[in-house]
Amino acid sequence: MDIVELSRLQFAITALYHFLFVPLTIGLSVLLGIMETVYVMTGRPIWRDLVKFWGALFGINFAMGVATGITMEFQFGTNWAYYSHYVGDVFGAPLAIEGLMAFFLEATFVGLFFFGWDKLSKVGHLVVTWLLAIGTNFSALWILIANGWMQFPVGARFNADTMRMEVTDFMAVMFNPVAQAKFVHTVSAGYVTGSMFVLAISAYYLLRGRHSALAKRSMTVAASFGLASALSVVVLGDESGYTAGHNQKMKIAAIEAMWHTEPAPASFTVFGVPDVAGRKTDFAIEVPWVLGLIATRSVDTPVPGIDELVEMAKTRIRSGMIAYDALDKLHKDRGNAQLRATLDAHVADLGYALLLKRSRPDVQNASDAEIEAAANNTIPNVPVLFWSFRVMVAVGFWLIALFALSFYLSARRKLDSYRPYLWAVLFSLPLPWVAIELGWIVAEYGRQPWAVEGVLPTFLGVSSTDASNVLLSLLGFIVFYSALLVVDVFLLAKYIRLGPEAALGRTAKEEAA
């Protein structure tokens, strides 16, 4: 494997791993806030016990999220140095603001959340818990503003003097519609994960006939919050589809395995077997109109297919070659106004010309065959996207049904009446993680070959360090992270098995006395 593949693999592994912990942190932090609000409003100690118990599990998970987040913050510099140089002027700012505005809040108050029970008033501690939850959620906002810019790079322009993208309109970066849609979709998915975690562990207690007062109250909160969140994930997942259709047509065509443009409104393929070589989808079961409605919000706008998008890419590559040629000449003749005008006219397609860097450094001299190959490289991995998307959506609908049933049972006060239901909940515990990881794959693997859509190809973004260094760190992360995962799951399982008393410690004993 070369340095590009090693670096991509390391990024994917560390990001997917980090993303095991973060959604649960996001979801649990809000659930803790809700439970503690109930405690402060009703004054009933069982609700404080709930907060302490789920808080202990939250803490174990939070530590892992922080530990693996450190890697993410620095990996852009260590492994994606050219990316950092090329887009740092735009991309770095949301990351830094995340630290200033969100992570500082979250990390400062997480200590007081655990250590402040005896040192703060009831309301004071409630405020701390909510500040922790707000910090966690704002954290997600700024990270997704950064990520949203990679999907839809608005508010920035290439500067020939500094050879990089620079911010022209920070408001556009902040209020990027893709970022906003992603934020709501992702935090909702986090809420679903937190709710499913609480619901499934509570179901385990009810199945064992333990801690039923605590378990039923937990399930009541998780069912209603989970149902609202699961609906929001799907509705606002749709919103993601819409915005992706607006500026990432290739991603949506690949998700759909739609090789050729269909007459509007396009149909949605519920099932099929994508045939990459033959550029067709076998055994397709299609629902008319649905894709057209999702992707264009109209019945008369066609959704372009992969073949047509490849043709469009060729046009843009040729235009980008003109920009690159002008840029190359500008290096030797910095004052030449005519070259700058040529560059400006074609600069929007410069990224497409950079796709050719894979085959030659002097991209302005690329042959037709090289252009053809580069254009074909803009197609992401169709079968992976096709299936990831469908499994994710299926999980989403299953979870809506499960939360709806839970909500109904909790309203009828029959949560502990049906053992098959409780088993179904327990076995659904891993599903939010399945959906979340697949969602990452759809969003980020589906962005390939781009690091920043239309601006910078992924392979160009890597550092110029030795591949052996990256291999070493990759293996190190795999060993290290695997060991930590074992310890993490062991501790979570231990604390779940021990039940609330272990987490409550002295408090429970005091109450008994």
Nearer Cβ to other proteins (105/244): 105
Q: How far is the CB of 281 from other proteins (least distance, A)?
A: 40
* Residue type present at position 176: N
State which residue, 426 or 502, has the beta carbon closest to other proteins. Answer: 502
Taking phi first (over 0 means left), then psi (-120 to 50 degrees means alpha), and beta for anything else, what does residue 297 get? left
Two tokens at 204? 């385990």
Among the listed residues 210, 200, 114, 193, the one whose alpha carbon sits nearest the alpha carbon of residue 499:
210
Asked if residues 267 and 257 have their Cβ atoms less than 8 Å apart, the reply is no
CB of 138 to other proteins, least distance (A): 11
> Bridge-partner residues for 456, per DSSP?
452
DSSP 298-365: SSSSPPPPHHHHHHHHHHHHHHHHHHHHHHHHHHH-TT-HHHHHHHHHHGGGHHHHHGGGGT-S-GGG
Using the minimum distance from each CB to other proteins, give the nearer residue, 21 or 242: 21
Least separation in angstroms between CB 460 and other proteins: 9
* Structure-block tokens of residue 111: 């200590």
Residue with tokens 């986090």: 190
Nearest distance in Å: CB 119, other proteins: 5
| CA–CA gap between residue 281 and residue 254 (Å, rounded) | 11
Find the shortest distance in angstroms from Cβ 425 to other proteins.
26
- Check if the beta carbon of residue 482 is closer than 8 Å to that of residue 14: no
C-alpha–C-alpha distance, residues 456 and 452, integer Å: 5
Smallest gap from residue 257 Cβ to other proteins (A): 36
Identify the CA nearest to 38 among candidates 224, 233, 231, 228. 224
Burial class (CB in 10 A: 0-12, 13-18, 19+), 49: buried
Q: Which is nearer to other proteins, 60 or 429 (CB)?
A: 60
**Distance in Å, CB of 172 to other proteins, minimum:** 12
Q: Which residue's CB is nearer to other proteins, number 124 or number 288? A: 124
Question: For residues 103 and 268, which CB has a smaller minimum distance to other proteins in the complex?
Answer: 103
CB 125 to other proteins: min, Å: 10
List the one residue out of 74, 88, 73, 65 whose CA is nearest residue 143. 73
- Smaller CB distance to other proteins: residue 146 or 189? 146
Residue 364: phi and psi, rounded to 5, are: -65, -15
For the bound state, the minimum distance from the C-beta of residue 346 to other proteins, rounded and expressed in Å, comes to: 17
What's the closest the beta carbon of residue 467 comes to other proteins, in angstroms? 11
Compute the least distance from the CB of residue 34 to other proteins, in Å.
Answer: 20
Q: Rank residues 287 and 486 by Cβ distance to other proteins and give the closer one.
A: 486
Rounded CA separation 498/491 (Å): 10
Q: Give the nearer residue to other proteins in terms of CB position, either 363 or 399.
A: 363
User: Which residue number, 162 or 298, has a Cβ lying nearer to other proteins?
Assistant: 162
Whether residue 45 is preceded by a cis peptide bond, meaning omega within 30 degrees of 0, is no
- In the complex, the smallest distance separating the C-beta of residue 408 from other proteins, rounded to whole angstroms, is 34
Least CB distance to other proteins at residue 131 (A): 8
**Strand ranges in 183-279 using DSSP code E only, listed in sequence order:** 268-275
Residue in 435, 441, 303 with CA at minimum distance from that of residue 384: 441
Contacts of 309-312 with CB under 8 Å at 24 or more apart are 309/249, 309/250, 309/253, 309/378, 310/375, 310/376, 310/378, 310/379, 311/375
Nearer residue to other proteins within complex by CB, 107 or 264? 107
The dihedrals phi and psi of 488, each to the nearest 5 degrees, come to: -60, -50
Q: Which is nearer to other proteins, 65 or 439 (CB)?
A: 65
Q: Return the SS3 of 120.
A: coil
Residue 79 or 220 having the CB closest to other proteins: 79
In three state form, how does the secondary structure of 124-193 look?
HHHHHHHHHHHHHHHHHHHHHHHHHHHHCCCCEEEECCCCEEEECCHHHHHCCHHHHHHHHHHHHHHHHH
